[in-house]
Amino acid sequence: MAKDALHVVDTFYLNTLRYGVTAAAFILVLWLTEGRKALSFDGTFPCTGLFGAIGFAGFSLFAFVGLAHTQAAHAAIIMAMQPMIGALVRWLWQGHRPPRITLICIAAAFAGVFLVVARGQLDNLFTGAGWGDLVIVLGAVSWVVYTLAAGSFRDWSPLRYTALTCLMGEAAIVVATVLATIAGLASAPSPQSLYPAGPQLLYLVLLASIVAVLAWNAGIRSLDPLSGMLFINVVPITAFLIGLYQGRHFVAAELIGATLVVLALLTNGLALKFFHVR
């Protein structure tokens, strides 16, 4: 959906529209469920602004800029790597060394991503698609940092953290959009030009942003974070199935790499959950 929408509206204005509506919806839900007091930053404005900018502005702009230069299936594979990237970031940032099985699975998953990005030829790493994939990695790292930062807001509900950081993230996206427009890197779309991408925009705002995030938070709370993260395996599988349905051709290296990533994620998740590996 995002890939199709980018043919009509550029990354900056697409995300300004997307998270403008999303932030407004989250703030309304927060106000109705937790009251006006929950709208206060309680002295955390700098941190909330920083992590909101990293999470929503960093993630969305990096991911969508990269997506404009590569395949949606590649982006899905890289985003599915977030549990592995999270283990590395947590190790570097918080000093929590991953178990040996996780390190092995990280190596296998990165090997799979390498196969997907290179598509069996090293020269592909230096093409537009290769650079697009690397930019998407930066987006995935941004979201991992944002997710780990939630631990610093233990007194807040998941909804409050999501709503207030999304609001600050939208502010950062607006600033980036203004600067990109001045620099000639972005241009405001006309209402008429948005019409062909109406269904995609509606999906990105209502389902991919509002419903998806609220459903994810509810699912994580009902299960547990580890069980919930196992569902990240659905992302690349779905993307490749949709790509095949749309008639896209994937070379053997891409399919092998995607399978390797999914198996690495699944192996790590099951080992940590059922065998209590430490």
CB of 72 closer than 8 Å to CB of 155: no
Task: Provide the pLDDT for residue 27.
Answer: 95
Q: Is 278 domain-assigned? A: no
pLDDT, tens digit, 9 for 90 and up, residues 134-181: 899 999 999 889 988 888 888 888 889 999 999 999 999 999 999 999
pLDDT at 171: 97
Which residues constitute the domain of residue 236? 2-273
The confidence score (pLDDT) of residue 96 equals: 85
Any domain includes 92: yes
Answer whether residue 235 is part of any domain.
yes
**Distance (Å, whole) CA 259 – CA 233:** 10
pTM for this model (two decimals): 0.82
Least confident of 83-87, 230-234, 252-256, 261-265: 230-234
Burial class (CB in 10 A: 0-12, 13-18, 19+), 121: exposed
| pLDDT of 209 | 84
Closest CA to 149 of 71, 239, 59: 59
Per-residue model confidence as pLDDT tens digits over 17-73:
999 999 999 999 999 999 999 999 999 999 999 999 999 999 999 998 888 888 888
123 within domain boundaries? yes
CB atoms within 10 A of CB 141: 20
Determine, yes or no, domain membership for 130: yes
If one counts the domains in the chain, the total is 1
Q: Coil, strand, or helix at residue 187? A: coil
Alpha-carbon distances, residue 124 vs 101, 138, 256 (angstroms): 30, 19, 16
Residue 128 lies in a domain: yes
Residue 122 inside a domain? The answer is yes
pLDDT at 13: 93
Condensed to tens digits (0 to 9), the pLDDT of residues 201-238 reads: 889 888 888 888 777 767 766 776 656 666 777 887 88
Task: Answer yes or no: is 91 within a domain.
Answer: yes
